[in-house]
Amino acid sequence: MALRRLLFLCLIFFSFTKIIALPKEQELDRISALPAQPPVKFSLFSGYVTVDEEDGRALFYWLTEATHNAHTKPLVLWLNGGPGCSSVAYGASEEIGPFRINKNGSLYLNKYSWNRVANIIFLESPAGVGFSYTNTSSNLKNSGDKRTAQDALKFLIRWMSRFPQYKYRDFYISGESYAGHYVPQLAEQIYDHNKKAPHPIINLKGFIVGNGVTDNYYDGIGTVTYWWSHAMISDKTYKSILKNCDFRSQQTSHECDEAVNYAMNREFGDIDQYSIYTPTCGASSRKKKKKKIEVSRSFKNTLIGQRFSGYDPCTESYAESYYNRVDVQKALHANITAIPYKWTACSDVLIRNWKDSDHSVLPIYKKLIATGLRIWVFSGDTDSVVPVTATRFSLSHLNLKIKKPWYPWYSSGQVGGWSEVYDGLTFATVRGAGHEVPLFQPRRAFILFQTFLLGRDLPTS
């Protein structure tokens, strides 16, 4: 009897010390202030979560809690694509995060930050992206969709142990570009994991994807159609690509590559393919054009939407300057292992060595639609890399029943875009937005996101 009582007291003691330790772990990740940051009233946290002890893989995250009543707001995970590009560089610093970066290295507030209505985690994934690292160099040359999703799930489970107040919070996943793979793949991992658990460990409610890679075949047809319909290529080149490119194949022919190279290097001109109607940034545009010559050797890779630059290459350079500062890394609790390379917006090594990539994520959409998750897909309509036509072609092959037919939605008295509501999925366009929708149309993107969280249709007036 005495032994049983002793064991009971020990159990209480260890449980109590564990509860006490958790807030301490959080406090170690708290950001007191970033260099040149304007004052804010919401909390910021960042740090590492190990997802593989044997290989030494650890993912870097940045949590920006909601500006008001954070304890009642949902939790949203944001993922950028690439594959191999940083959610800190793009999502946090150019799109939906609370701060933007000035040329002089100071920060200013983003009026339409998504943390006005949710707690946002920006995750640099997979290992090798941004500050996320691996101690096993071969990991950088064998990354792919499967391990990325598995590591992201491990991250969430372990992160929620560190932040137990979020464990049963309404949870959503969001992202863009090649995260068109990451987001539904992670959602599927969470759904399958929850089914095996005695009660849902992660309270997944849905996901929202922008300009996302969806299906290689339909995306391919839709992309070339966009180029032609927006007068970026000639009739002759359009016909040549359709004739010589097998969008179902993992390999491309010499004739296909020749046709695509001709389009990109002779007919496109010096434009930003991610936003075809906005200006480029001086000398940076010439550097960007050289990059596109390199990736266009494989039409399949071009269509994946490898991201070497955004709307403003100058803005991207501001981020690279800022996050390579020692004082910034110290404030973020980042680069604690002294990675032997500079922080960059995208990892060329991962992009070049991506091993497994689903040909299509439409089967995952079908599976998850049947579960009743809230699923939205949106497209900025001036992006030629993962264009609106590609997404519409892909989604049309889900053969979903239309609940609310095509209609214009409004922002500030102007048409913000168009939408169609299906049985199990909502599709919306954002008028005048490029690949990074919240960068080009921040107010419209915010209305879109807020409406998604509320589970409503977009405003019709």
Which of 219, 383, 384, 411 is the catalytic position? 383
What is the model's pLDDT at position 281?
A: 67
Helix (H) or strand (E) holding 19: helix 2-29
Share of residues in the chain with pLDDT > 70 (%): 88
Query: Structure pTM?
Result: 0.89
Which residue in this structure is represented by tokens 């490029």?
434
Q: Is 435 a catalytic residue?
A: yes
Instruction: For the chain, report the end-to-end CA distance as a whole number of angstroms.
Output: 72
Measured between alpha carbons, how far is 78 from 122 in angstroms, rounded to an integer? 5
Q: Identify the pLDDT of residue 227.
A: 97
Helices vs. strands in the chain: H and E counts, helices first: 15, 12
| 36 phi, psi to nearest 5 deg | 60, 35
* CATH 3.40.50.1820 domain extents, the chain: 26-215+306-461
Dihedral sign computed on CA atoms, order 124, 130, 133, 138: positive
More reliable by pLDDT, 85 or 250: 85
From 86, 87, 177, 411, active-site residue: 177
Lowest mean pLDDT among 53-62, 117-126, 224-233, 253-262: 253-262
Kindly report the average pLDDT of the chain as a whole number. Answer: 89
The tens digit of pLDDT for each residue in 360-416 reads 999 999 999 999 999 999 999 999 999 999 999 999 999 999 999 999 999 999 999
Catalytic residue (one of 93, 219, 384, 435): 435
Report the share of the chain in percent with pLDDT over 90: 80
Let me know if 151 is a catalytic residue. Answer: no
The tens digit of pLDDT for each residue in 238-297 reads 999 999 999 888 788 999 999 999 999 999 999 889 999 988 766 444 344 333 333 333
CATH number for 26-215+306-461: choose from 3.40.50.2300, 3.30.930.10, 3.40.50.1820, 3.90.550.10.
3.40.50.1820
What is the model's pLDDT at position 248? 87
| Predicted local confidence at residue 286, as pLDDT | 38
Average pLDDT over residues 335-352: 91
* 384 catalytically annotated: no
